[in-house]
A and B are shown apart, each in its own frame.
Chain A
Amino acid sequence: NAGVTQTPKFRVLKTGQSMTLLCAQDMNHEYMYWYRQDPGMGLRLIHYSVGEGTTAKGEVPDGYNVSRLKKQNFLLGLESAAPSQTSVYFCASSWALGPYEQYFGPGTRLTVT
């Protein structure tokens, strides 16, 4: 089992460019999440999905969009990147909401210049 994988690992964008981050999990989890990690701020939830075809906003959703067309994949899109979106992005998945372990991917380091 690969667990949770993320592509790409690194990316540099210019302000205003767009990109999509891909997350894939092979654990048949219903729930998937996108977080961003910034120094001194922990991990903050951007968007999450409770199943194929459903998405919901998290704590910091502005400037991001997501899609979950297949159960195993969760895409995070930046339509017009801004320097404030420079961060490390983590995808996670879990069997259910609540007191269940979230399994994290290795992260994508994004720099917006």
Chain B
Amino acid sequence: QQQVKQSPQSLIVQKGGISIINCAYENTAFDYFPWYQQFPGKGPALLIAIRPDVSEKKEGRFTISFNKSAKQFSLHIMDSQPGDSATYFCAASLGGGTSYGKLTFGQGTILTVHP
């Protein structure tokens, strides 16, 4: 199974609040978990990524939490700003085999931050 399931589909947060987006996967051979951010009319861009040997990675207001046993990972955006309004995709890639390195994306979450 190479699916990555992402939730929620859409999220509305007030300025200054915390945005949380969740992803779950089945294949334990995934070994790289990036998050991409996409603004309207633009291509996705890498936001932050994590490997399964750590449980958390923080870059500024963005944090990935990784739970290997539950096969889940999440993106937390602290002090959410209107400029964070975008579509967020989680993804995963396999560490070996014929599908090595190719990204499997989640369904996407449309985040709206109200001022």
Contact = CB atoms under 8 A, between A and B. Distances in A.
A74 to B, nearest CB: 14
Q: Chain A interface mostly helix, strand, loop or mixed?
A: loop
A33 B6 CA distance: 22
A102 B44 CA distance: 9
Interface centre among A42, A45, A90, A106 (most CB of B within 10 A): A42
Interface in A57-113: 58-59, 90, 92, 96-107
B102 interface: yes
Nearest to A97: B101
Nearest to B9: A40
A2 to B, nearest CB: 13
Contact of A42 (B31, B93, B95, B106): B106
A40 B32 contact: no
A42 B31 CA distance: 20
Given A42-B108, A45-B103, A106 B43 contact: yes
A90 B44 contact: yes
A43 B44 contact: yes
Given A42-B89, A98-B93, A99-B32, A106 B42 contact: yes
Contacts of B49: 99, 101
Contacts of B46: 101-102
Contacts of A4: 43
Contact of A98 (B42, B100, B104): B100
A43 B100 contact: no
A113 B56 CA distance: 47
27 contacts: A4-B43, A41-B107, A42-B107, A43-B44, A43-B89, A43-B103, A43-B105, A48-B102, A59-B104, A90-B43, A90-B44, A96-B101, A97-B100, A97-B101, A98-B32, A98-B93, A98-B100, A99-B49, A99-B51, A99-B101, A100-B101, A101-B46, A102-B46, A103-B45, A104-B36, A105-B43, A106-B43
Given A43-B103, A99-B32, 16 more contacts: A40-B108, A43-B105, A44-B105, A48-B102, A90-B43, A92-B43, A97-B102, A98-B95, A98-B101, A99-B51, A99-B93, A100-B101, A101-B34, A104-B43, A105-B43, A107-B42
